[in-house]
Amino acid sequence: MDIVYEYQFNINDVDEMMHVYHSNGWEGHTQEDIITIFNMSTHVIIAKQDGNVVGFARALSDDVFNAAIYDVVVDVKYQSQGIGKNIMELMIKRLGELSCIHLISMYSSEKFYESLGFRKLKTGMVMYSNKKLKTEYTV
C-alpha cells in the first residue's frame, strides 16, 4: 500500500476528510468546519492512498516556542497500518525544534502518543464549553 503524504489542505478533499472524521464517530465536523479549521492551521498533513484521503492531522504553531497538534485521525479501515504513526512523525519533524508540542489525546490513544515521546503533564489545564467533553476529559 503506497501512502502519499501532502502538506497542504485542498478544499477538494473536504468530503473525504469528513468521511474520515465520521468513520471515527466524530459526527460534529461539517464541511464548513473542516474548511475553517484546516485553513486556520499552520501545519497540515494529509495521507492519501490512490488519491483518496485516509488520514490527517493539523497543528497550530508560533514556529518559535510552542505548537499544539489536533485532529490526528485515520479512517477506521486503515488503522493499525502505521499511517497514524507516520503522520505524527512527519508532523513532529515539520514542527521542528520547539520548546513544547502540546496534544490532547483520547483515553484509548494515550499509549500510542507515549510511544512517540509524549508525556502526561503535571500542570496542564483546559476549559471546555461542551459539558460532555468537560466531564470526560477533566479532573
Query: What type of residue is 12?
Result: N
Average pLDDT over residues 10-16: 97
For residue 126, the Cα-to-chain-centroid distance in whole angstroms is 18
In the chain, the number of structural domains is: 1
Give the residue numbers annotated as catalytic, written as ranges.
113
Contacts 24+ apart (CB under 8 A), 24-28: 24/73, 24/74, 24/75, 24/76, 26/73
pLDDT band at 1 (very low <50, low <70, confident <90, very high): low
pLDDT band at 109 (very low <50, low <70, confident <90, very high): confident
Residue 106: the pLDDT is 77
Residue-range definition of the domain harbouring residue 108: 3-137
Mean pLDDT of the chain: 93
Give tens-digit pLDDT for 49-69.
999 999 999 999 999 999 999
Write down the pLDDT at residue 55.
98
The cell numbers describing 114, all together, are 507515549
Q: State how beta strands 43-49 and 3-6 pair.
A: antiparallel
Give the dihedral of Cα atoms 122, 125, 128, 133; nearest 10 deg: 0
Query: Strands (DSSP E) along 15-106, which ranges?
Result: 43-49, 52-61, 66-74, 100-103
CATH number for the domain spanning 111: value is 3.40.630.30
Q: Averaged over 90-96, what is the pLDDT?
A: 97
